Amino acid sequence: MKTFTLKTDPLTGEDYNEVYLRGRQLLADSHLNKASAFSKEERLTLGLDGMLREGVSTLATQADRAYEAYGRKTDDLERYIYLAGLQDRNEVLFYRLLLDHLDEMVPIVYTPTVGQACMQMSHIQRRYRGIYITPDNIANIDQIFQGLSQPLVNLIVVTDGERILGLGDLGSDGMGIPVGKVSLYVAAGGVHPAVCLPISLDVGTNNPRLLEDPLYLGIRRPRLRGAEYEGLVEKFVLGVRRNFPGALLQWEDFAKQTAFKNLDRYRERILSFNDDIQGTGSTALAALMTAMRIKKSRFQDERYVIVGMGQAGTGIAMNIRAMLKEEGLSDAEARQRIFAVDMQGLLIEGDPLLEGPQVPLAQCRAAVEGWRLDDPSHIGLQDVVRNAHPTVLIGVTAQPGLFSEAILKETAKHTERPIVLALSNPTHKCECSPEAVWKATDGKGFVATGSPFAPMEWKGRTLQASQCNNMYIFPGVGLGALVCRSSRITDGMFMAASKAISTFVTPEQEAMGLLLPEMKDIRKVSAAVAFAVGQEARNSGLGRLLDDDRLGFIVRRAQWEPAYISYRPGSIRHAD
C-alpha cells in the first residue's frame, strides 16, 4: 500500500505530501515521520494529538539534538548503528544530519565502517531496509514490488553479496552496501530518498563463518550457481522492467565474472551500470586527469602499472586505454603503456587464465623480451616495476603494504612526480599509506586512496591525499541519466563525468596534492556530473533534447534538499 503521494497545490504552488497513514503508523514510517516537528495542525488532522510532547521543534533543533546523541557513541560501529536507527525513524532528519557533517559521517555510513558493519550485520540488525529477493520468492517478484509503500521507484542498487568491498562473500549481510550507496545517492546526488530502493539477491553463501553462525539471517545453503542463478537474475531484471520501466539499476559488489556478465548482458536492455567497474574506473580517471594537468603531462607520456585485475582494476585500465585512444594512440600503442598484473603476474597474450575484458590489456610477448626477471617462469610486480619503468602505480588488491618502500623508490627514479593510487578498502587493506609515498618521493608524489587518511605536514607544506571515492561519480551519473531520461548509460557518459570532476579541483587544492574535489563540494560536483551526462546523452541521441540552460535548471531542481514539507490527510481508500 502506498503511504503518501507527492503533490503540488495548483492554487498556491505549495509542495505537500498527501498522507494515507494516521497516528502511530505515521510515526513509524521513516519517509514520513517528523517526530517533534509535526505542526499543531498536522497533529490534529493526522491523528497525532496526544502522541507527542507539547514542544514543536525545527529541523535544525532536531539535528542539534541528534548530533549530541551521535557524539556520545564510543566507536565507529556504534555510530553506524545510531545513524542506521535514525534513518529508520526519520529520513529527513538523517539526511539533514549527514549533509551537515558530511566529512565526518561518510566514513561511518559507507567506507570504511560499512565493511565492519557488514561483517556483523546479522548481529546488529535492528530494522530491515529494502527488499530481499531469493530463489524461494522470485516467482512473487511482481507482488513484492507492488507491495512497496513508497510512491515511486526510480533508482535501485542491487547486490548478491558475493564480493563485498575487500571482504569477500558476506551473503545477505552485504545488504549494508546497497543501503549505504542509496544514502550517498541522496546525500551527494540529491536523489529523493522516497524513490530509491536497495535490494539484496540472497542466493546463499559459501562463507563457512556465516553458514555456521546461528545468528546469520540469510539463506543458509551454498550459493546458487550456473543456469539457476542466471535464471533468477533474468527474472529479477524482467520484474524491474515490468514494475519500474524508467528506473536506473546499479549493479554493486558482484563477483568479477558475474559482474562483467551482468553488465554486458543487460546494459542495452535496461538503464543500468556497474559502479565497481565503471564508477571506480571513472573516478580514478578523474584523479589522473588532475595529476596530468598539474604535471603538464599527457596520458601518453606516462606508463601505468595496475595491480589487481578484478572489476575495479579492469575498469580503471579500460578508462586509461580510452583516454590514450582519445589522445590519438592506436590500440597497440595504448597497450604498450599499460602493464596489468594479476594473481598470475603480468598479463601476457596467450595466457590461458586471461578472461574476457583482460584480453586486450595483455602485453604481447615481444614487449617483455630481454627483461631481467627474478624467476623466468613468472613476471611479478617487482619485475614489472624494475623493467617497465612505470610513472603511475595503481593498486586494487586488498593487499596491505603491496607497494613497498623499494617499489615506491624504484618508481620515483623514472619521474619526478609519480602518481600512486592505493585504492583498496577498508583502510587496513590499503596497498600503502600516503605517508609512505611522500617519504619515498620527498613529498612530490601524488596520492589517492580508497579510504580517508589524515593530512601530513611535510617541510612546511600540508600534504593531503584525495579519497578516490566513487561518490564523486555514481550519484551524478544516476541523477543525470534519470533527469534526461536516457535509454542507457554509455562509456562516453562516464568519460564526460571524469572531465567534469577534474575541473572542480582548484589551484589551491592542487598545491596540497589533491586530485579530486573536497567532500564539502559534493552536491555541486554531482550537479556538474549530472549536467555532463545529460549533455552526452542528448548529443548521442539517447536523452531529452534540452538546451544547456534548461538542462542545468532541471538538474538543480531535481536535487532534493532535506527539509520538511507540509502534510495533508488523504483518503485511505486511495492509498493504493
pLDDT over 60 (residue 576): no
Q: What is the pLDDT of residue 573?
A: 53
pLDDT over 90 (residue 358): no
Domain ranges of the chain: 58-270, 278-469, 474-558
pLDDT tens figures, 527-537? 999 999 999 99
Q: What is the pLDDT of residue 377?
A: 85
C-alpha cell at 367: 614487449
Look-up: residue for cell 615481444?
366
pLDDT tens figures, 90-141? 999 999 999 999 989 999 999 889 999 999 999 999 999 999 999 999 999 9
Superfamily of domain 474-558: Malic enzyme, N-terminal domain (3.40.50.10380)
pLDDT tens figures, 468-525? 999 999 999 999 999 999 999 999 999 999 999 999 999 999 988 999 999 899 999 9
Q: Has domain 58-270 been given CATH number 3.40.50.460? A: no
The Cα diameter of the chain in Å comes to: 84
Q: Dump strand ranges (E) for 239-374.
A: 248-251, 272-274, 304-307, 338-342, 345-346
pLDDT tens figures, 204-245? 999 999 999 999 999 999 999 999 999 999 999 999 999 999
Share of the chain above pLDDT 90, in %: 88
Q: What amino acid positions are annotated as catalytic residues?
A: 110, 181
pLDDT over 80 (residue 159): yes
Confidence of residue 353 (pLDDT cuts 50, 70, 90): confident
Confidence of residue 572 (pLDDT cuts 50, 70, 90): low
The predicted model gives 83-92 an average pLDDT of 97
Q: What is the pLDDT of residue 105?
A: 96
Q: Give the residue among 500, 114, 39 at the shortest CA–CA distance from 290.
A: 500
572 vs 274, residue with greater confidence:
274
The predicted model scores a pTM of: 0.93
Confidence of residue 165 (pLDDT cuts 50, 70, 90): confident
Beta-carbon neighbour count of residue 54 at 10 Å?
A: 6
* Conformation bin of residue 532: beta by default, left when phi > 0, alpha when psi is -120 to 50: alpha
The predicted model gives 367-381 an average pLDDT of 90
Candidate from 183-187, 237-241, 388-392, 429-433 with smallest mean pLDDT? 429-433
Q: Parallel, antiparallel, or unpaired for β 272-274 and 304-307?
A: unpaired
C-alpha cell at 382: 617487482
Mean pLDDT of the chain: 94
pLDDT over 80 (residue 541): yes
Q: What CA–CA distance (Å, rounded) separates 532 from 171?
A: 36
pLDDT over 90 (residue 313): yes
Q: What is the pLDDT of residue 111?
A: 84
The predicted model gives 275-284 an average pLDDT of 96
Look-up: residue for cell 580514478?
284
User: 458 by DSSP, 3-state: which?
Assistant: strand
DSSP codes, 113-168: HHHHHHHTHHHH--S--SEEE-TTTGGGHHHHHHT--SS---EEEEE-SSSBTTTB
Does 474-558 match 58-270 at the fold level? Answer: yes
C-alpha cell at 38: 509535526
Q: Which CATH number fits domain 278-469: 1.20.120.10, 3.40.50.720, 3.30.420.40, 1.10.3720.10?
A: 3.40.50.720
pLDDT tens figures, 383-416? 999 999 999 999 999 899 999 999 999 999 999 9
